[in-house]
Amino acid sequence: MPRIKLQRFAENATRPDIVEPGKPAFGQLSGRWGTDFFNNHHPLVLEVGCGKGEYTVGLAQLHPEQNFLGLDIKGERIWRGSTRAEALGLQNVGFVRLLAHQLTEHFAPGELSEIWITFPDPRPRDRDIKRRLTSPRFLNMYQTLLAAGGVAQLKTDSEGLFEYTLEVLAGRPEARVEVATRDLYAETDPAFAAAQAIQTHFEGKYRAVGVPIKYVRFSL
């Protein structure tokens, strides 16, 4: 393993804004993220598959009245998000190193006010359907973890994943699509303003080559 990666993993082990295997808090915060991690009772927003944390940190900058957690399994990616949050002096953002299917082991029912799914792997092969972050398997988890009135939001460049998500939601009688678009940045309705407020590096690259960004906000 490259030395720089080992160094970053060592730094992750000392950072209070990162929860990962081996730390005392890992697996102990379900139902207590607000009181024991953020030391407040603000609404908790989770980004599933946060990558380098651009979106999580961006949301934390825009909304100091809320708490934000970025979830990813890659320690080096989390290090980048943590480093940016530290440089900005943010106290309302943290990162947790987990696989997405472990969500219900680390969060309590109704603990999340909002979930963001930003540019996940679309998993186009049929054999990988259950690994899509908007498959019924994951929607069932989100439904359990979201508080009453909570919403989930997907941003993607993938037409296939967008269509799949709409189809899955249409098959759930309890689900409601609040807004959806195949070209987010062509929208002028204020209902899309929150999703337009942050643009990741890769999102900018997609737009630069003419790939429209798809977006849907839904409740479960």
pLDDT digits (tens, 9 = 90+) for 141-175: 999 999 999 999 999 999 999 999 999 999 999 99
Calculate the average pLDDT of the chain: 96
The domain in which residue 104 lies consists of 3-219
User: Other CB atoms closer than 10 Å to residue 170's CB: what's the count?
Assistant: 10
Is 118 in contact with 46 (CB distance < 8 Å)?
Answer: no
Assess whether pLDDT exceeds 70 at residue 31. Answer: yes
* Token representation of residue 156: 């993607």
**One-letter amino acid of 144:** T
Q: What is the pLDDT of residues 67-104, one digit of tens each?
A: 999 999 999 999 999 999 999 999 999 999 999 999 99
**pTM reported for the whole predicted model:** 0.95
φ, ψ at 47 (rounded to 5°): -100, 120
By the 8 A CB rule, do 146 and 190 touch? no
Q: Establish whether 121 is a catalytic residue.
A: yes
Residues in the chain: 220
Catalytic residue of the set 121, 126, 128, 157: 121
pLDDT tens per residue across span 99-116: 999 999 999 999 999 999
Helix extents (H) in 13-129:
54-62, 75-88, 103-106
Contacts of 115 (CB under 8 A, 6+ apart): 45, 46, 47, 48, 142, 145, 146, 150, 151, 152, 153
CATH number (domain holding residue 33): 3.40.50.150
Total tally of structural domains belonging to the chain: 1
43 phi-psi bin (left φ>0, alpha ψ -120 to 50, beta other): beta
- Tell me: the pLDDT tens digits for 170-199? 999 999 999 999 999 999 999 999 999 999
Q: Is 1 helix (H, G, I), strand (E, B) or coil?
A: coil
